[in-house]
Structure 1
Amino acid sequence: MTKKTKALLAAVVVAAVAVTAGIALLVVGAPGGAPDRTAGGPAESSDPGTGDSTPDARTATQIGEDFLAEWVDDDGRVVRRDQGDDTVSEGQAYGMLVAAAVGDEDRFAAIWDWTKEELVRQDGLLAWRWADGAVVDDMPASDADVDAARALVLAGAAFDRPTWTAEGVQLGTHVLDEMTASTDVGRILLPGPWAAGSGPWSYNPSYAAPAAFAQLGEASGDPRWAELEQGSRAITTNVLTATALPSDWAQVQQDGTVVPLPSADGSSGTVQYSYDAGRLALRYAESCDPVDVALAARLAPVLQRYPDLPMQLDLGGQEAGQDQSPLAYAARAAALASAGEPDAATADLGRADALAQSTPTYYGSAWAALAALQLDGEGSALGACSPLAVSR
């Protein structure tokens, strides 16, 4: 097993980003236990030209297998080697999705077994963070639980393991019961149980996953998954109507109005498109609904402004930092593929992989792998409606 520990800490340049005049940030009361998921960790690279030194192109399966080899221990723990060797539920879910997509049944089983042993709470949801042999923050993060539930359903079908399918349906049901809310425009996914209540609600636009909702709905027959698809599509449309790019965090009001926030509770930070929001294009590009794909395509013109694309932008698309991350190029690849530009999308997938190899980080490597498998992984358990595959 490979254990690369090339952790790079580069200076993070943060520029203050002004929110559109007249918008008041209505702060949601998030308890102290709300997950601070530090999605991107330290700056992944401070050299905007890093992605230009592109090695020979690798297949989506090769990229996925490399992620599993470098970031997953033999016992099934996905280790954030560049962030103190801890583990988060998101990482376990990413590992499960990758393992299912590349057809690695043994690795999938190991990751899920470790997750069940160490992270599953009494209510069936997943504790967010584990370090030094124990859970240190048991607040669930809904995106991780949805991704894990989806991975279980995909693996159950791919490996003929009905028990995994049943476990995925069960985990998904817990998400629906404890981490969703109904608005006037439809059901939405809340970031965690801490955000539940009568609203307005804290919201992370990049947690909405139409393909996952559709697959879990098909597996379970629960109509609430279709409600989540509808509500998420309405909210995302509102987000991209108000601003050119989605914010990492937002607040959703009962009528579906969306207010950008700088953090989960709105109390600190900078309103921007960054390590969380970058996932939105990837979530929507892999949907089988053309309306969702069109939403992903709306990000393409803004992201195309930069040959060397920074990970941090303000909501109008102006540079707000100098971090380079594989996620930035993976997100643009998703937007370009959705907009009918397969060659440019493929080039950006290559840049994402090259940057993940030259400056390896857990989060960047995970999204380089997931993006390749979702957008270009023909025959994998992901990417059933891949815009790149469809364009061939």
Structure 2
Amino acid sequence: MRKPACAALLVMMSVLVSPFSHAGQAWEQYKARFFMPDGRIVDTGNGNVSHTEGQGFAMLMAVASDDKATFDKLWQWTDSTLKNKDNGLFYWRYNPVEANPVADKNNASDGDVLIAWALLKADARWHDKRYSTASDSITKALIAHNVIRYAGYRVMLPGVQGFNLNSEVVLNPSYFVFPAWQAFADRSHLQVWRELIQDGQRLLGKMGSGKANLPTDWVSLEAGGKLVPAKAWAPRMSYDAIRVPLYIAWFDKQSPLLTPWRTWFGQFSREQTPAWVNVTTNEYAPYMMEGGLLAVRDLTMGQASGEPEITTKDDYYSASLKMLVWLAEQ
């Protein structure tokens, strides 16, 4: 009678043990490079500023690593330093060398989403309702301030200010964090999250541009429903849009939305895949993908990369993508 009981215990233990239990070294490497004692993550490729995106990324990593002490420092710094008490969202950028480190009062909706998602995961892992209560407040604020209906779609604007231009709205497809939206739908049972998922997928299916047939970093949705590369940015699939296949694969590894990405990546050898493509001119980056960009390529192509190694060559963004791919693979 003891053997089945032991087997059941082993199965239960394997479920409870973090997917990062074997990747503790990568998380420690990441923290050593980018985590400050006050609880903020520094963007080493961008003057050591901090963003809500980075706070959210690291909060997800900390939950997966069962590192409650670090999670709490990340969350406490984010909540006390970046919280906009007027709308319940977060100032997107913190620059420690400015007299007012949060001079720009706008939010970045993907950062807010990532933070709220990490808080939900934190309650599930550590059984503290304060985390999920905080998550609910953020998601409620996102619906109130960032989610609109436009041109027949339910969309999440990239920020409260500056993206609804009446005759068009500007979207960032890398802000469509499908697995997080699904978690919010499962928790709240609100139809708005399911509509965001369905319409986000519909939009992505129509966003491909040029020979590459890929979405650009920033996309304009016109009042009539037409989708074109946003005018204020270079028409490139670049460092933002690379997160699109990451979040698609994280949500559904069998999604047909991955097909154009696989087609584009597949025409190059792994080490000779350009870092970006201009969809208007078909010009490629003169340098190749490496680090975290290659990790996303591997995930998209179904080539599991296993435990990441965070090297001195990896800046904050490259290291973050590596870690997120590892999370998505779980």
Secondary structure, counterpart of 2:237 in structure 1: coil
Deviates more, 1:126-135 or 1:229-238: 126-135
Q: Does the aligned pair in 2 maintain the 1:77–1:87 contact within 8 Å? A: yes
Equivalent residue, structure 2, for 1:256: 225
> How far apart in 2 are the matches of 1:313 and 1:185?
29
Letter in 2 for 1:298: P
CA-CA distance at 1:296 after TM superposition:
2.1
CA–CA separation in structure 1 for the residues paired with 2:151 and 2:69: 44
CA distance in 1, matches of 2:133, 2:189: 12
Structure-1 residue corresponding to 2:142: 175
Structure 1: which 4+ aligned runs deviate by more than 6 Å?
Answer: none
| Matched residue SS, 2:304 | helix
Q: Deviations along 1:121-148, whole A, 9 cap, x unmatched? A: 0211110111227323221011111111
**Taking every aligned residue pair, what percent have the same amino acid on both sides?**
25
Q: Distance in 2 between matches of 1:334 and 1:186?
A: 29
| Residue of structure 1 equivalent to 2:266 | 304
- Unmatched 5+ residue regions in structure 2? 1-20
Q: Gaps spanning 5+ residues in structure 1: where? A: 1-57, 338-344, 378-392
So what's the TM-score if we normalise by structure 1?
0.71
The residue aligned with 1:327 is 292
Asked if 1:287 corresponds to 2:251, the answer is: yes
1:107 aligns with 2:70: yes
TM-score (norm 2): 0.84
Task: Output aligned runs, 1:192-271, within 5 Å.
Answer: 192-194=159-161, 195-196=163-164, 198-240=166-208, 244-261=213-230, 266-267=231-232, 269-271=233-235
Q: Is 1:88 the counterpart of 2:42 in the alignment?
A: no
Inter-CA distance 125–325: structure 2 relative to 1 (3 Å threshold): farther
Distance in 1 (alpha carbons) for counterparts of 2:24 and 2:238? 27
Does the aligned pair in 2 maintain the 1:183–1:255 contact within 8 Å? no
2-side partners of 1:158 and 1:332: how far apart?
30
Give the aligned partner of residue 19 of structure 1: none
Residues 197/82 of structure 1: CA separation in 2 closer, same or farther (3 Å cut):
closer
1:136 is paired with a residue whose SS is: coil
Q: Which stretch has the larger CA shift, 185-194 or 236-245?
A: 236-245
Q: C-alpha distance in 2, partners of 1:211/1:115?
A: 22
Matched, 1:161 2:125: no
1:361 to 306, 315, 330: 315
**CA contact 2:174–2:242 (8 Å) conserved in 1:** yes
Secondary structure of the residue that 2:155 maps to in structure 1? strand
Q: Distance in 2 between matches of 1:223 and 1:69?
A: 41
Kindly indicate whether the alpha-carbon contact (under 8 Å) linking 2:45 and 2:317 is maintained by their aligned counterparts in 1. Answer: no
* Alpha carbons 1:128, 1:138 under 8 Å: kept: yes
2:223 aligned counterpart, secondary structure? coil
Output the CA distance in 1 between the equivalents of 2:45 and 2:140. Answer: 33
Distance (Å, rounded) in 2 between the aligned partners of 1:59 and 1:188: 38
- Relative to structure 1, the CA distance from residue 216 to residue 62 in structure 2 (aligned partners, 3 Å threshold; closer, same or farther) is farther
C-alpha contact (below 8 Å) 1:209/1:283 kept by paired residues: yes
2:296, 2:322 within 8 Å by CA — same for their partners in 1?
Answer: no
Q: What is the aligned counterpart of 2:301 among 336, 343, 347?
A: 336
Q: Is the 8 A contact 2:93 2:102 kept in 1?
A: yes
Residue 184 of structure 1 and its aligned partner are, at CA, apart by: 4.3
Are 2:155 and 1:188 equivalent residues in the alignment? yes
| Residue identity in the other structure for 2:63 | A
Alignment partner of 2:274: what SS?
coil
Q: Could you say if the C-alpha distance between residues 259 and 59 of structure 1 is closer, same or farther in structure 2, counting changes exceeding 3 Å?
A: farther
Cα distance between partner residues in 2 of 1:75 and 1:358? 22
Q: Distance in 2 between matches of 1:251 and 1:62?
A: 41
What is the letter of the counterpart of residue 257 of structure 1? K
Who is 2:39 aligned against?
76
CA distance in 2, matches of 1:297, 1:335: 9
Query: Residues 19-73 of structure 1: CA distance to partner in whole angstroms, max 9, x if unpaired?
Result: xxxxxxxxxxxxxxxxxxxxxxxxxxxxxxxxxxxxxxx9555433422332111
Q: Is the 8 A contact 1:63 1:368 kept in 2?
A: no
Q: Is the 8 A contact 2:48 2:95 kept in 1?
A: yes
Q: Which residue of 2 aligns with 1:143?
A: 110
- Partner Cα distance (1:154, 1:199) in 2: 38
Q: Pairwise CA RMSD of aligned residues? A: 2.3
Residue pair 1:63, 1:372 contacting (<8 A) in 2 also: no
Sort the Cα spacing of 1:159 and 1:282 in 2 relative to 1 into closer, same or farther, 3 A: same
C-alpha distance in structure 1 between counterparts of 2:70 and 2:111, whole Å: 18
Deviations 1:241-292 (A, max 9, x none): 875211111101234321012xxxx23x4211110000000011011485xx
